């Protein structure tokens, strides 16, 4: 078998007539090049089967590079190829390596790549990173996974936003915000050209109505009965603790027994959305509930999950059963936290005090929260716990001793 070799014919002006007349003159399937007599580096390659492709040849540093511009008669005419070659070779003079640019465009930079980079470099460090990943998996990747990030334009984003918004306007707005952030970072990271407009900008958001749903005193007895009949013990305890403390969902699920101070009747939450440690005074009903919970030697979490050593993860399914049984299907899990704030407000507690109980991060009221001592917060939650359990027709199941307040000793 012969060895493939490269064949070069003498330069000619590559006009349509000249390229039409070219034939393959290589040997052993070797490359056959004909170079233009006027534009140095511009040529055409003739293949054994008769196909002819325009190309440019240049040096990038010490490397010799060949870049195919397109097929004669299919992609480009001879005049179009000549003009493109002049532009491309001009880029080389200005320091660009066109072949490398094309290789980068072919290697990744799809929306799948951008989403992975976003979560790795940004999303996973956020408190709401799991929500970003959920929205990526549900809405973005099924639609655009294999598309280039630079190919996404505003009409694409608008169409996705409208589709989601037909049934879930709040969710549609969150996806739009996520895409806006992703494309801003994509520009910094080189996934899209520096000057490319963010396709998620200048799109009108859907109007959002702030929810004010909470569990009413009339609904609570039914809800209490449904919670107590829930077979999942960890979920049952979680739902009561949501009602008694106002904890955020994930913060409570991650709480460990080591976070409970039995002497002070406090739950310490080290990793909160507000970015600061939050101490929650535990009312007598909450203390009683915790004392009755079984502990596993190999699991540090207050609310253990199915997997060894793991915490409860899916509380949404048990909550779905509970709210259906109680006839409060429109009450969401987060509404239990809102219930705590609403009941505290109806009991005459100040909005600032409620903000401290719920660990809100509103900067304008943070300084005011600091004026309230732990005793005021404890009194508010003690009052709330007693009122909640009374409305439910229940009493604490364990004896709770009155505790000394912070900074003072108990009376002898």
Q: What is the pLDDT of residues 324-349, one digit of tens each?
A: 999 999 898 888 888 888 777 777 77
Q: Check pLDDT > 80 for residue 374.
A: no
Count of beta carbons in the 10 Å neighbourhood of residue 370: 10
Spatial distance between the Cα atoms of 14 and 36, rounded to a whole number of angstroms: 6
CA dihedral 141, 144, 148, 154 (to 10 degrees): -120
Query: Helix, strand or coil for residue 390?
Result: helix
pLDDT at 376: 60
Q: Which two tokens stand for residue 405?
A: 């307040």
pLDDT at 381: 85
Burial label for 179, CB within 10 Å (0-12, 13-18, 19+), is buried
Mean pLDDT of 211-230: 89
Q: Which fold has domain 220-391?
A: hpI Integrase; Chain A (1.10.443)
Contacts of residue 145, defined as CB under 8 A and 6 or more positions apart, other chains included, come to: 110, 111, 112
pLDDT at 138: 95
pLDDT at 311: 93
Mean pLDDT of 301-311: 92
pLDDT at 14: 94
Residue ranges per domain, the chain? 7-106, 111-189, 220-391
pLDDT above 70 coverage of the chain, percent? 86
CATH of domain 7-106: 3.30.160.390
pTM above 0.75, yes or no: no
Give the single-character DSSP code of 181. H
Q: Tens digit of pLDDT for each residue in 130-144? A: 889 999 999 999 999
Q: Check pLDDT > 50 for residue 365.
A: no
Q: Check pLDDT > 50 for residue 287.
A: yes
Mean pLDDT of 255-276: 86
Whole-number average pLDDT of the chain: 84
7-106 and 220-391 share one fold: no
Q: Check pLDDT > 50 for residue 398.
A: no
Q: What confidence category does residue 193 fall into, taking pLDDT thresholds of 50, 70 and 90?
A: confident
Mean pLDDT of 43-57: 93
Pairwise pLDDT comparison (272 vs 178), residue with the higher score:
178
Query: Could you tell me how many helices (H) and strands (E) the chain has, helices first?
Result: 17, 8
Q: Which two tokens stand for residue 68?
A: 């195919």
pLDDT at 328: 92
pLDDT at 279: 86
Q: Check pLDDT > 80 for residue 409.
A: no
Spatial distance between the Cα atoms of 136 and 145, rounded to a whole number of angstroms: 10
pLDDT at 366: 27
Pairwise pLDDT comparison (314 vs 225), residue with the higher score:
225
pLDDT at 202: 92
Give the single-character DSSP code of 262. T
């Amino acid at each position: 078998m012969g060895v493939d070799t490269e064949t070069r014919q003498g330069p000619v002006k590559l006009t349509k007539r000249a390229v039409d007349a070219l034939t393959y003159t290589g040997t052993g399937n070797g490359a056959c090049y004909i170079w233009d007599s006027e534009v140095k580096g511009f040529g055409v390659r003739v293949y054994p089967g008769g196909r002819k492709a325009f190309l440019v040849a240049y040096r990038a540093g010490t490397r010799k590079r060949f870049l195919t511009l397109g097929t004669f008669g299919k992609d480009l005419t001879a005049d179009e190829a000549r003009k493109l070659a002049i532009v491309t070779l001009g880029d080389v003079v200005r320091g660009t390596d066109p072949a490398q640019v094309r290789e980068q465009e072919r290697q990744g930079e799809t929306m799948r790549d951008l989403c992975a980079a976003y979560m790795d470099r940004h999303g996973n460090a956020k408190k709401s990173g799991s929500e970003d990943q959920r929205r990526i998996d549900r809405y973005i990747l099924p639609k655009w996974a294999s598309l280039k990030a630079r190919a996404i334009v505003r009409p694409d984003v608008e169409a996705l936003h409208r589709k989601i918004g037909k049934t879930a306007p709040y969710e549609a707005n969150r996806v739009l915000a996520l895409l806006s952030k992703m494309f801003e970072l994509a520009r910094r990271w080189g996934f899209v050209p520096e000057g490319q407009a963010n396709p998620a900008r200048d799109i009108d958001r859907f109007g959002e109505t702030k929810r004010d749903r909470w569990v009413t005193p009339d609904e609570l007895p039914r809800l209490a009965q449904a919670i107590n009949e829930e077979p999942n013990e960890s979920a049952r305890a979680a739902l009561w603790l949501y009602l008694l403390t106002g904890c955020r969902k994930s913060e409570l699920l991650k709480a460990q027994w080591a976070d409970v101070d039995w002497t002070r009747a406090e739950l310490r939450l080290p990793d909160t959305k507000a970015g600061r440690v939050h101490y929650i005074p535990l009312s007598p009903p909450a203390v009683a509930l915790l004392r009755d919970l079984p502990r596993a030697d190999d699991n540090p979490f207050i609310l253990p999950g199915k997997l060894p050593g793991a915490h409860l993860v899916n509380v949404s399914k048990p909550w779905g059963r509970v709210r259906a049984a109680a006839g409060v299907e429109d009450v969401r899990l987060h509404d239990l936290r809102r219930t705590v704030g609403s009941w505290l407000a109806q009991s005459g507690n100040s909005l600032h005090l409620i903000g401290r109980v719920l660990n809100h991060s509103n900067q304008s009221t943070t300084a005011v929260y600091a004026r309230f001592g732990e005793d005021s917060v404890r009194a508010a939650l003690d009052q709330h716990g007693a009122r909640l359990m009374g409305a439910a027709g229940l009493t604490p199941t364990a004896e709770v001793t009155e505790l000394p307040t912070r900074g003072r000793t108990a009376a002898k």
